[in-house]
Structures are given as C-alpha cells and as structure tokens.
C-alpha cells in the first residue's frame, strides 16, 4: 500500500507541475488507519497529505459531481467499481472525458472504515470482523475499466461462489413472504437519503424526492412512504447501478440495498441484455434502459 501511495503522490505531483490538473481527488488519513476521507488536493504542496491504504473504500467518482458545472481539470484515483462510476457519469453526459486524468488502482478488496469506526465506538453489541468489506466480496470487476494510467498488475475478481445467490433465495419466496420481508426491512429506513447522496448514479440535478411542487413521495417515515422511496430509488437504478456498494455500506440502519440493486442488475441482464452497467466506455453509449430496441420484451405492457 505504501508503494501505491508513493506512486499516486508521484503522479499527482507530476500532474500539478506539468499543469495538467487543477485538483486531484484521493484520500487523506486523519487519525487511526481507518480514519480516511476523500481529499481534494489543489496544488503540489498538498500532495504529501495523500494516502492510499486498505480503508480507501469511498467511491471518488461521486465527488466528480461537485465539479460538473466548472471547468477544473480533475485528476482522481479509482478502483474497479469507482471506475465504472466514471463510465456512468460519462454516459450520462455529466462530465467530459477531456477534463479527467484517471489513475487506476487494481483492487484486492477493501476494508470498511465505517465498520471499523463502529467497532471502536462502544455502540456495537457484536464486533464486526474487519476483513474484506461486504461489498467487495461481491466484486466482479476489481480492475479499473477506464484509466489514463494504471498502478500495478491486474487482479482476479473477488466474487467467490454464485453471483445473485441471495437474490435467488428471495425470488424463491412466495409473494406474501417476499412482501413481508421487504415490509420488515424497509420499515426501518430513517430516510436520511445517504444512499442517494453517496451514489454516483444518482446524478439528477433535481431529485424527485426533493421536488415539492408537486411532491411525488411523502416524507413520513412509515411503510407506505418508505416503500415508495425505495421503489422509486430502485427503479431509477435499473441498468444504471454500477454495483459499487456504497449505498448499502453507508446506510445507518443496515438496509440490504444491494439485494434490491442486484435483483435489478440480474433482471436487466436477463430481459434486455446481455448487459452489465459501466464496464466499458464507448462514446455515445447509453445504459440499457435509456434506449429503445424493437426486440425489447413488452409482454408485461
């Protein structure tokens, strides 16, 4: 990891010195090893603050949305999943490729700083093992899919065993059982919208949940409004979620958001595929459900 940090610092210094970027997005360590946060370096003098360690799990491509209206040239570090986020933003025309200098780091699986913070908090009844983060165990693409420079050799996918196993388990429930399952888990949502805020695919300028005239989704925390929130959020992710797992990781009440996302990933692939979101950038390409094809299934209409 130290080598990767050095390499990133070297690249960032070079980019600032050659005046190729105005800002460089990476991570900074602020305390114990797990206390890392996104860091926006603005000059070569800032570069020494940059770190890369196994807790650098945050998807920095989401931070690009903070720059979409400017003209800053941005350097950033991405892992496999994060790089798919960049593809999402490019396909969604949120930022121009020319403005980016992408430094790819093939990933060996990250640790979750939130889980570590929780273990240290005294709030937990059971210690979580701080091994590889949950989301990384489902990873099919640890290697960046788009980059200007790659640090280190590529790694094999982390996913072991069957993809979508949990989804299939839920699919096999009866409709009533399934309804009950989702009612149970979704009724605990506190509607903090953190799952939306950390999501790179949630790039709408005005989010439907913030619309007040008219208000589409009620703000009460009850089963009805919570379900409405989750159904809308999920359907907006269909064909667009790049499976970075950040939404589920940050949820303060442990809602299994990836289960919902993975169901959509599976269905979009089955019905409209073969399709895997954000696996490569082809100029002008659109997510599966953003274009129409005569062969698209429509028997549910």
Q: Which parts of this chain interact with ligand SF4 (CB under 6 A)?
A: 57, 79-81, 107, 109-110, 135-136, 139, 142, 158, 189-195, 198-201, 237, 241-247, 251-253, 255, 257, 261
Q: How far is the CB of 52 from other proteins (least distance, A)?
A: 15
Q: How far is the CB of 95 from ligand SF4 (least distance, A)?
A: 16
* Touching other proteins, residues 204-263 (CB under 8 A): 210, 212, 215, 218-222, 246, 249-250, 252-255
- Which residue in the set 45, 165, 190, 208 belongs to the binding site for other proteins (CB under 8 A)? 190
- CB neighbours of 128 closer than 8 A, spacing ≥ 6? 115, 118, 119
123 binds, among other proteins, ligand SF4, none (CB under 5 to 8 A by kind): other proteins
The answer to whether 110 and 136 are in contact (CB under 8 A) is yes
Q: How far is the CB of 279 from other proteins (least distance, A)?
A: 25
79 binds, among ligand SF4, other proteins, none (CB under 5 to 8 A by kind): ligand SF4
- Which residue in the set 68, 99, 109, 114 belongs to the binding site for other proteins (CB under 8 A)? 114
- CB neighbours of 263 closer than 8 A, spacing ≥ 6? 164, 167, 170, 171
Can you tell me the distance from the alpha carbon of 233 to that of 221, in angstroms, rounded to the nearest whole number? 16
120 binds, among other proteins, ligand SF4, none (CB under 5 to 8 A by kind): other proteins
Is the CB of 40 or the CB of 164 nearer to other proteins? 40
Q: Based on C-alpha coordinates, what's the Rg of the chain?
A: 20
Q: How far is the CB of 292 from other proteins (least distance, A)?
A: 33
Q: Where are the alpha helices (DSSP H) in the chain?
A: 2-17, 80-91, 113-121, 134-137, 165-171, 175-186, 194-197, 223-237, 246-250, 257-272
Is the CB of 5 or the CB of 197 nearer to other proteins? 197
- CB neighbours of 292 closer than 8 A, spacing ≥ 6? none
Secondary structure letter of residue 97 according to DSSP: G
Is the CB of 11 or the CB of 87 nearer to ligand SF4? 87
Q: Report in angstroms the alpha-carbon separations of 38 from 97, 219, 283.
A: 21, 30, 28
The answer to whether 66 and 22 are in contact (CB under 8 A) is no
Q: How far is the CB of 107 from other proteins (least distance, A)?
A: 18
Instruction: Give the tokens for residue 189.
Output: 């949502």
Q: Where are the alpha helices (DSSP H) in 18-132?
A: 80-91, 113-121
Residues that bind other proteins (CB under 8 A): 30, 35-40, 58, 62-63, 66, 113-114, 117-118, 120-125, 184-185, 188, 190, 192-194, 196-198, 210, 212, 215, 218-222, 246, 249-250, 252-255
């Amino acid at each position: 990891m130290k080598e990767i940090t050095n390499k990133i610092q070297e690249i960032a210094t070079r980019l600032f010195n050659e005046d190729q970027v105005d800002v460089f997005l990476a991570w900074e360590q602020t305390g114990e090893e797990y206390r890392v946060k996104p860091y926006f370096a603005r000059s070569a003098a800032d570069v020494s603050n940059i770190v890369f360690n196994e807790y650098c799990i945050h998807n920095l491509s989401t931070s690009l949305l903070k720059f979409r209206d400017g003209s800053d040239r941005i350097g950033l570090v991405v892992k496999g999943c994060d790089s798919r986020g960049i593809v999402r933003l490019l396909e969604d025309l949120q930022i121009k490729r020319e403005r980016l200098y992408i430094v790819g780091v093939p990933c060996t699986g990250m640790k979750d700083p939130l889980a570590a913070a929780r273990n240290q908090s005294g709030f937990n009844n059971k210690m979580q093992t701080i091994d590889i983060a949950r989301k990384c165990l489902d990873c099919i693409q640890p290697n960046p899919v788009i980059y200007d420079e790659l640090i280190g050799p590529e790694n094999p996918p982390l996913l072991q065993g069957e993809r979508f196993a949990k989804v299939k388990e839920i699919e096999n429930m009866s409709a009533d059982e399934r309804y009950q399952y989702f009612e149970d888990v979704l009724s605990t949502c506190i509607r903090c919208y953190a799952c939306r805020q950390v999501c790179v695919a949630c790039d709408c300028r005005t989010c439907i949940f913030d619309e007040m005239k008219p208000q589409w989704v009620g703000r009460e925390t009850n089963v009805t409004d919570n379900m409405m929130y989750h159904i809308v959020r999920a359907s907006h992710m269909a064909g667009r979620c790049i499976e970075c797992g950040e939404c589920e990781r940050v949820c303060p009440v442990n809602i299994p958001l990836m289960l919902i996302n993975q169901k959509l990933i599976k269905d979009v692939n089955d019905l409209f595929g073969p399709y895997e979101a954000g696996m490569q950038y082809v100029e002008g390409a659109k997510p599966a459900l953003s274009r129409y094809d005569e062969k698209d299934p429509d028997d549910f209409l």
